[in-house]
Amino acid sequence: MHHGLLRTIGGERTGWISVQLLTDRFRRRDLAVKLDASRSGATESVLLSRIQLDRLIYELTYARLVMMTRGQPLEGCHEHR
């Protein structure tokens, strides 16, 4: 596996989240995204498939919209789970 597109966000007090694209130079595996969350010296890693990454992006986008509207119901989003 080769690593590419490494991004890290966070801070000392809140912890860190790193996102890294993993590619296989021999194309034996699909692309994947590795998500690392670190806090207080402990790190948890998760390997996400394309479908899982799409779902995570959807959920984060929805959470951002709710934050932007200060928790007010969003029109047309009654089916969100």
How does pLDDT run across 7-54, given as a tens digit for each residue? 888 887 888 889 888 876 666 667 788 889 888 888 899 888 889 989
pLDDT of residue 77: 59
Domain boundaries, the chain: 2-68
Give the model's confidence band at 55: pLDDT under 50 very low, under 70 low, under 90 confident, else very high.
Answer: very high
- Residue whose C-alpha is closest to residue 49's, from 21, 74, 18: 21
* pLDDT at residue 73, as a whole number: 72
Residue among 37, 43, 39 at smallest CA distance from 14: 39
Is the pTM here over 0.85, yes or no?
no
**Tell me, what amino acid is at 23?**
T
Closest of 2, 47, 9, 56 to residue 28, by C-alpha:
2
